[in-house]
Chain A
């Protein structure tokens, strides 16, 4: 124990809004990023690089549709590989956006305000990247319509609702739709600000149309806040259900390494872990690029680092439990699965995963690292790599050696596997940077409520 007397009264947490800002300076600062003719060179370069990868994605998908999924490396026994790894990776990344916008809203964490908007955008674009994979992995996405969606078709066929794969279709499409609604509702008052501030005629019309004639009436705000809170309340169980259902894709199967009851909570924790790492990866360069240090303060970065550390520990607990269950079950196949995972041909992936997800994030226990943006950025990148490897390990090492040694095999990705994956990263970066260019990346109206004068005097004891 520290011998210095600790007084709780003297402690004031670091502020969520640095500097001396007024409604006007907040509005000007955030809208000046969009309502200008100039953009930083870094924006042009990043968007251009992203767009190159979008084209690589276009080529990869076109070739896939032309030739079929034989261009990929997956084949029996590893029937699922990059497609599902990338799907789970992307959808997991999306989860942090909803956690920040919905769960932290319900928990009254005011530090969410300056990061929720672009975290929600990140969710949308990550879900878009994720949703591509189940569609294109069918090889014939035009047929996927009746495989995936229940509609009265001419063959009188219906999807099989006892299958987790169809639950996944409902979970991901609901998640995408509700995230879009949540994001748009949050944007409307800011779009009205842009409508009123835009000098360009076209911009005035476009923002005006999207703002739906919002005029900030108190009667409107009352219904708005009700609806927003209800959306947050519904998004909270939704986001937990989505990765739970994604984990059902695996845990309902009887394959050793998949068939485990720990999967739903372990997947949800992993999703939040990967997502916060991605928010940090985006927030650190953006706050530097646009000079947003007053809005996205050290406190935000440190809090996100703490959430990353905690969820990372949950994920490590999941790895430990997988090994424990394998031993405790006394099942020969389960035991073999963990031995093969740790010492088999893909052991390098397993141990890299342990380093990336288990060891490296432990540096976040140290405050000097949590408050160092360079360190934080690289730890976040390593976590993203680690979470990708986690899905690789779960999917590929479980499938490549299952029950019968005669049906064992190895999996090697092809260039098309990589080009599709990096293509989706390019798509994500491009969409993210286009969003930053045309929409407010920080919620302006919610930032205004952080200004001290926003508190109405005499209404405290109410």
Chain B
């Protein structure tokens, strides 16, 4: 391996979830910040160890819900009062109780789409190419293996010293990740 070729980072491979969470905690405590843990199923302690607590999805869903409610009621109000007022059995044009079902449905519709789209967008997906896939063993990240990657862009990253640190994490293997 020549030291000249730039790399994306270093990646350690673990056998189980507990080892991954332990290693993630130690890596964070060692001062590394551009770190990510990869697992075949959601592990809450893993993202807690990374101090990853993004609450923008919730906020966006709230906004989506409010927009949906206004849009739903606005649609009913505008069509029934302004654009196309019809006298139905002497009911007022603004028969707001009749507009609640549509308002509710549009609220849920927009909020749900916001939840999914914002989740994928904040995750940077779809992303057809990512360097972590260059590690052959990473194919098992969607099956039964757990990975921890420290990116080369981390200010504390030093190819030799970080490799030494990662070798001490009790991983079954540590690999370089090609960019």
Contact = CB atoms under 8 A, between A and B. Distances in A.
Contacts, number: 208
Nearest to A179: B112
B105 interface: yes
Interface string B39-60: 1111111111110111101100
Interface in A101-137: none
A323 to B, nearest CB: 29
A114 to B, nearest CB: 14
Given A218-B38, A218-B52, A222-B54, A212 B88 contact: no
A161 B102 contact: yes
A445 B83 contact: no
A169 to B, nearest CB: 9
B17 A158 contact: no
A178 interface: yes
A193 to B, nearest CB: 4
A287 interface: no
Interface magnitude class on chain A: 35 or more
A158 B84 contact: yes
Contact of B79 (A161, A181, A217): A161
A212 B120 contact: yes
A2 interface: no
Contact of B39 (A160, A178, A221): A221
B79 to A, nearest CB: 4
Given A223-B54, A227-B118, A449-B42, A457 B18 contact: yes
B116 A227 contact: yes
Contacts of B2: none
A436 interface: no
A215 B45 contact: no
B115 interface: yes
Interface in A149-205: 150, 156-162, 164, 166-167, 170-171, 174, 177-178, 181-182, 184-185, 189, 192-193, 195-197
Nearest to A238: B108
A288 interface: no
B115 A227 contact: yes
A285 interface: no
Contact of B123 (A167, A224, A454): A224
A161 B18 contact: no
Contact of B36 (A218, A237, A448, A459): A218
Interface string A242-255: 00010010000000
B88 A160 contact: yes
Contacts of A453: 16-18
B144 A23 contact: yes
Contacts of B95: 162
Given A160-B88, A216-B142, A234 B41 contact: no
A225 interface: yes
B57 A156 contact: no
Interface string A138-156: 0000000000001000001
Given A23-B143, A221-B47, A170 B58 contact: no
B57 A223 contact: yes
Interface magnitude class on chain B: 35 or more
Contacts of A235: 112
Interface stretch (B125-133, B153-161, B166-174): B125-133
Contacts of A213: 125-130
A234 B39 CA distance: 27
Contacts of B18: 453, 456-458
Given A22-B144, A217-B36, A171 B101 contact: yes
Contacts of A294: none
A308 interface: no
Nearest to A217: B36
Contact of B143 (A193, A214, A449): A193
Given A237-B108, A456-B18, A196 B132 contact: no
Contacts of A212: 120, 125-127
A174 B18 CA distance: 41
Contact of B21 (A150, A166, A193, A459): A459
B69 interface: no
B61 interface: yes
A7 B44 CA distance: 33
B43 A456 contact: yes
B108 A196 contact: no
A216 B25 CA distance: 18
Nearest to B17: A456
B18 to A, nearest CB: 5
Select the residue from B55, B128, B141 with max chain A CB neighbours within 10 A: B141
Contacts of B50: 218-219
B70 interface: no
B79 A158 contact: yes
Contacts of B83: 156, 158
Contacts of A222: 42, 47, 52-54
Contacts of B67: none
Given A162-B91, A223-B54, 11 more contacts: A23-B143, A160-B80, A189-B142, A218-B24, A219-B47, A231-B116, A234-B111, A235-B112, A245-B101, A446-B41, A454-B41
Q: Which 3 A-B pairs have the closest CB atoms?
A: A23-B144, A227-B119, A212-B126
Interface of A: 22-24, 27, 150, 156-162, 164, 166-167, 170-171, 174, 177-178, 181-182, 184-185, 189, 192-193, 195-197, 208, 212-227, 230-231, 234-235, 237-238, 241, 245, 248, 445-446, 448-449, 453-459, 462
11 contacts: A174-B106, A185-B116, A213-B125, A215-B138, A217-B38, A218-B39, A218-B47, A241-B105, A446-B41, A448-B41, A459-B44
